């Protein structure tokens, strides 16, 4: 049964009113692949628009906070922290973005973590598109979540 569809097949927001407020955590990952030259420019701070990683971090944090405005049936949640890390792999010419969101609420923070990782990756593209148009984003996926009735989840490698 789909929880976001009512008995008549209409979209609806799930009612979480009577669920307990519990500690929640979710982490998501996104990858941005590019040429070695572009990655070197990002790493050395030679992108004309500025510090790509720091701007992408701020964009991801803002996106996580705005998730219910972007995803129609998401609840506004009490977000306690948002951390976004970037790992550069020069051999594979890729940036791995890891977004972690924690908080106390009645439903999970998976969408906030996914939105943070996705928007951080889009920001990298936006800041580097003048240098390279064929930058590739993906995959983007939920890596882990904890808390709530459905329990813990850890993506298998």
Its sign, for the CA torsion 100, 101, 106, 108, is negative
Provide CB contacts within 8 A for 8, sequence distance 6+: none
Give me the residues paired with residue 76 across strands: none
Return the C-alpha torsion angle 91, 95, 101, 107, nearest 10.
Answer: -100
CA-wise closest residue to 153 among 68, 28, 14: 28
Do the beta carbons of residue 103 and residue 78 sit within 8 Å? yes
Query: Which one is catalytic: 15, 85, 105, 126?
Result: 126
Q: Is 15 a catalytic residue?
A: no
Which DSSP letter does residue 48 get? Answer: T
Catalytic residue set? 126
């Amino acid at each position: 049964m789909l929880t976001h569809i009512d008995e008549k097949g209409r979209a609806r927001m799930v009612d979480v009113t009577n669920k307990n407020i519990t500690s929640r955590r979710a982490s998501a990952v996104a990858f941005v692949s590019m040429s070695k030259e572009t990655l070197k420019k990002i790493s050395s701070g030679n992108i004309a628009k500025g510090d790509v990683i720091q701007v992408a971090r701020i964009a991801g944090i803002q996106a996580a906070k705005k998730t219910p405005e972007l995803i129609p049936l998401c609840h506004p949640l009490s977000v306690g922290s948002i951390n976004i890390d970037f790992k550069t792999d020069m051999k594979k010419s890729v940036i791995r973005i890891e977004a972690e969101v924690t908080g106390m609420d009645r439903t999970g923070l998976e969408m906030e973590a996914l939105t943070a990782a996705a928007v951080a990756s889009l920001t990298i593209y936006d800041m580097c598109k003048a240098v390279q148009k064929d930058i590739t984003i993906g995959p983007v996926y939920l890596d882990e979540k904890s808390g709530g009735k459905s329990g813990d989840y850890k993506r298998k490698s």
